Copies of this chain bind each other. A is one copy, B any other.
């Protein structure tokens, strides 16, 4: 009852089942690395979530654990998905996805930007850009490697789907960020990171919030 019940909305279980359906004989440690290297930019899991879930899935017979093969070096547990696990995954895939409640702290801070000291919002956007650019190069490297190594894998088209989504979103966010910076530097007074050129009326010394 407890075990079966626990499967209702535990998304972690399904990432694990999904990854094991793509590649078997993975340890908890492997799974975490695989997550970071494949779905990492839109999904995260911590060990504190992975290990207990592995135990539970094994107890339910959805995965099986085989202690490290032949020369059992290290205390490595290797998991593989069972037929029941496959069926469970397939069922879950068929039901409509749930929108995970939206929470974007970057946008929230931007939204309240008027209350911040001048230059703050611009700094946030710059950081945002940096992160996006780094992520974009990572994704592009992954694509090159993926195309070379896995293009025969039947999962490849689906991987590519999520990949192109990510790239498109990042590109559009980067474009937006440029216009956002242009807009903000017109609105906010000059700061070190945002030197205003239009001297004339002494706009430089103006402060929009006295507090």
Contacts and interface: CB of A to CB of B under 8 A. Distances in A.
Interface of A is mostly: helix
Interface residues of A, number: 68
Contact of A39 (B96, B108, B179): B108
Contacts of A52: none
Nearest to A170: B172
A157 B48 CA distance: 42
Given A18-B115, A162-B111, A164-B179, A43 B172 contact: no
Interface in A1-49: 11, 14-15, 18, 21-22, 38-39, 41-44
Interface of A: 11, 14-15, 18, 21-22, 38-39, 41-44, 86, 89-90, 93-94, 96-117, 120-121, 124, 127, 131, 154-155, 157-162, 164-165, 168-169, 171-173, 175-176, 179-180, 183-184, 187, 208, 211
